[in-house]
């Protein structure tokens, strides 16, 4: 009886140079749009932390920073469609402009839940900035106000994006391919 071992191979999808240029473009747009306003940047943990850190360092406006942790994945590569709020804001966002910063928009379930949750806190406005969008997987409509990249229907990792909490440290974005090592 043969035992089949699954191996993972990564193929480069978006190099760090393109990521750096895109972060600069997004920061310039956000700076222009929020100049003179009371902005709270809300990072969605864990995936958005690298993107958010690079983005906010390039913003030329004062802002507050907070984080939420929501999940619909667990250790899987497909959304469970059951969203769990693991950590809510510590900042009072009532009457303030909120910019949600997310790593990737996929099915839309997590972001629809989060945006509704934050709107319920009485924000002045709410917009979404996403590093990546995978529209081929969308089940619920989500408006992305500031978008970095549109990616194909493949599982992606690197630059904060993960597979079962692995590969976040990679400076580029890769597509994950699995194959049978014994083939």
Q: Is 103 a catalytic residue?
A: no
Q: Which of 54, 97, 103, 106 is catalytic?
A: 106
Query: Are 117 and 126 within 8 A, CB to CB?
Result: no
Answer whether the bond into residue 46 is a cis peptide, omega within 30°: yes
CA-to-CA distance for 70 and 34, rounded, in angstroms? 26
Tell me, rounded to whole angstroms, the distance of Cα 127 from its chain centroid: 13
Active-site positions read 106
């Amino acid at each position: 009886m043969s035992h089949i071992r699954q191996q993972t191979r990564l193929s480069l999808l978006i190099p760090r140079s393109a990521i750096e240029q895109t972060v600069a473009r997004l920061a310039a747009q956000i700076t222009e749009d929020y100049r003179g306003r009371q902005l709270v940047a809300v990072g969605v943990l864990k995936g958005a932390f690298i993107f958010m850190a690079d983005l906010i360092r390039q913003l030329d406006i004062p802002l507050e920073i907070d984080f939420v942790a929501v999940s619909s994945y667990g250790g899987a590569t497909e959304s469970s469609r059951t969203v769990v709020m693991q950590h809510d804001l510590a900042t009072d966002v009532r009457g303030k402009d909120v910019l949600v910063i997310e790593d990737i928009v996929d099915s839309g379930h997590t972001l629809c839940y989060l945006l509704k949750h934050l709107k319920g806190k009485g924000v002045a406005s709410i917009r979404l900035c996403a590093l990546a969008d995978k529209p081929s997987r969308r089940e619920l409509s989500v408006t992305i106000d500031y978008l970095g990249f549109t990616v194909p229907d493949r599982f992606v990792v690197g630059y904060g994006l993960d597979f079962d909490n692995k590969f976040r440290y990679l400076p580029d974005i890769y597509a994950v391919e699995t194959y049978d090592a014994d083939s």
